[in-house]
Copies of this chain bind each other. A is one copy, B any other.
Amino acid sequence: MKRPQLFISIEEAQNRLLRVLSERVSLSTERIHIVDSLSRVASELIRAPMSRPRTNLSAVDGYAVRSLDTTGASIFNPIELIVKSVLKPGEDPDKVCIEPGYAIRVHTGAPVPCKADAVIMDEDVKVQGSTILIQRSVAPGSNIILRGEDIEEGDVIVKPGLLIQPAHIAALASLGIDTINVYRKIRVSLIAIGDELIEPGHSLNYSKEFNSSTYIIYAQLVKDGIFQVRYAGIVPDDVKTILTTIKSEFERGSDIIITTGGTGVGETDKVSELLEKYSSLIFRGVKMRPGRMTSASLMYGKPIIHLSGFPVAAWAGYELILRPAIAKWIGIEGFERPVIYAYLSRRVPNISGYNSIIRVALTIKNGEYYAEPYMLRGSGVISSLLKTHGYIIIPENIEGFEEGEKVPVYLYR
């Protein structure tokens, strides 16, 4: 296959897929309980319905006072205040005001009554029956957590596209919100194509290979949390059977089908024939290695991504084309991989005309990361993913990265 000039850039591939996803797949939303919303994508804007704290709170155990009442207090000139008991449970602190000359008992985290603008710690008062003696003046605001200090009423807590994390769930709970609108999961069917494939757990002869590419994609989809994944099994290199399986998966309600395998140009590779005769092409081949045979097409009006039968190339097609396209489509915030910057431990040449996806193992020395490129580059070399922590991308217009160059590394997790 010597025609890189026909291949498109990674970004162009993502964008074409994005267009098709926007036009062809409609993602309804559903209202779910917040405890089930981890790693789901929010589809609504949620503003805080109240402030947090709702009212001024005491930061300590002590006495709420008007700070003015304490002016001039000292050991030699202690000021006496009359103690009133705590606010009654359920009483609105904005409606129970403190009068001059009084102090109200408060515990840590308890509301401070209105007109009180400071809290004196237990350690700083002398209790005398129903009064306290204050031997030091307090500044306004002392030991008070202000209403809205954490979250102000009206603050945006969740935006459409947010990938929901534990802290968002806690924030919603703390504001009394127990349900949230999220996009429904994207229904993906996986089909493994190839006469030569058998499932692990069976016995092998020399014309067979264990299916592994569908497994890495399946696990990756599950890990990403926004998919409802179905594995449709292995189908042989027979166009009719492949078509029937694709049709039946779409009829079951799949939004997207992912095939692995059959993307070569040998006589037994049937994706070419599918693409030429039965589908409307979205793209065929991307300027990247591994994963250059990654293609996409429309069949029965829905998008199909054709990933390589080689596990690392299949992984690259998902990681660099489909996953970012889906993130753009839904507008997911917080879906990108964590990036670290590392010094390359050796020169890495590029393959002319391609973006090279190089897997690297990381080490840390004196607060700096160093990246050791994994030397075996084959698209079937699974050890390249097992023994590394992330990957770098050498852009197509660059001859390579030099030893010692600082480059961004995208972490797998």
Binding site for B on A (CB under 8 A): 2, 34-35, 38-39, 52-55, 59, 61, 87-93, 107-109, 111, 123, 145, 149-151, 155, 157, 165-179, 199-208, 210-213, 215-216, 218-220, 222-223, 231, 264-266, 268, 311, 315, 334, 338-341, 364, 367-369, 376, 378, 380-383, 385-386, 406, 408, 411-413
Cα–Cα, bound, A332→B304 (Å):
38
Other-chain residue from B52, B208, B223, B341 in contact with A39 (beta carbon distance below 8 A): B223
Contact partners of A169 in chain B: CB under 8 A: 215-216, 218-219
Other-chain residue from B155, B166, B334, B378 in contact with A145 (beta carbon distance below 8 A): B378
Cα–Cα, bound, A270→B175 (Å):
25
Q: How far is the CB of A148 from chain B (nearest CB, A)?
A: 10
Assess the B218–A35 pair: CB atoms within 8 A: yes
Assess the A204–B216 pair: CB atoms within 8 A: no
Assess the B411–A338 pair: CB atoms within 8 A: yes
Also in contact, A202 and B176, with CB within 8 A (given A149-B376, A381-B150, A408-B367): yes
Other-chain residue from B89, B107, B145, B204 in contact with A266 (beta carbon distance below 8 A): B107
Which one of A168, A169, A173, A364 has the greatest number of beta carbons of chain B within 10 Å? A173
Assess the A210–B175 pair: CB atoms within 8 A: yes
Cα–Cα, bound, A218→B84 (Å):
40
Q: How far is the CB of A220 from chain B (nearest CB, A)?
A: 5
Q: How far is the CB of A34 from chain B (nearest CB, A)?
A: 7
Contact partners of A93 in chain B: CB under 8 A: 206
Assess the B174–A206 pair: CB atoms within 8 A: no
Assess the A220–B166 pair: CB atoms within 8 A: yes
Assess the A212–B107 pair: CB atoms within 8 A: no
Assess the A38–B222 pair: CB atoms within 8 A: yes
Assess the A386–B168 pair: CB atoms within 8 A: yes
This chain: how many copies in the complex?
2
Contact partners of A155 in chain B: CB under 8 A: 383
Also in contact, A92 and B206, with CB within 8 A (given A38-B222, A223-B166): yes
Assess the A266–B108 pair: CB atoms within 8 A: yes
Assess the A174–B311 pair: CB atoms within 8 A: yes
Closest 4 CB pairs of A and B: A178-B201, A89-B207, A170-B216, A166-B219
- Chain B residue at smallest Cβ distance from A202: B176
Assess the A311–B170 pair: CB atoms within 8 A: yes
Other-chain residue from B34, B216, B411 in contact with A215 (beta carbon distance below 8 A): B34
Cα–Cα, bound, A230→B342 (Å):
41
Q: How far is the CB of A269 from chain B (nearest CB, A)?
A: 9
Secondary structure dominating the interface of A: loop
Contact partners of A177 in chain B: CB under 8 A: 200-201
- Chain B residue at smallest Cβ distance from A265: B61
Assess the B35–A219 pair: CB atoms within 8 A: yes
Contact partners of A149 in chain B: CB under 8 A: 376, 378, 381
Contact partners of A34 in chain B: CB under 8 A: 200, 215
Assess the B386–A171 pair: CB atoms within 8 A: yes
Other-chain residue from B202, B268, B315, B383 in contact with A150 (beta carbon distance below 8 A): B383
Cα–Cα, bound, A378→B174 (Å):
15
Cα–Cα, bound, A217→B92 (Å):
30
Contact partners of A381 in chain B: CB under 8 A: 149-150
Other-chain residue from B175, B266, B385 in contact with A170 (beta carbon distance below 8 A): B385
Assess the B383–A151 pair: CB atoms within 8 A: yes
Contact partners of A91 in chain B: CB under 8 A: 206-207
Other-chain residue from B90, B211, B364 in contact with A205 (beta carbon distance below 8 A): B90
Also in contact, A216 and B166, with CB within 8 A (given A87-B206, A204-B176): yes
Also in contact, A200 and B215, with CB within 8 A (given A87-B206, A90-B206): no
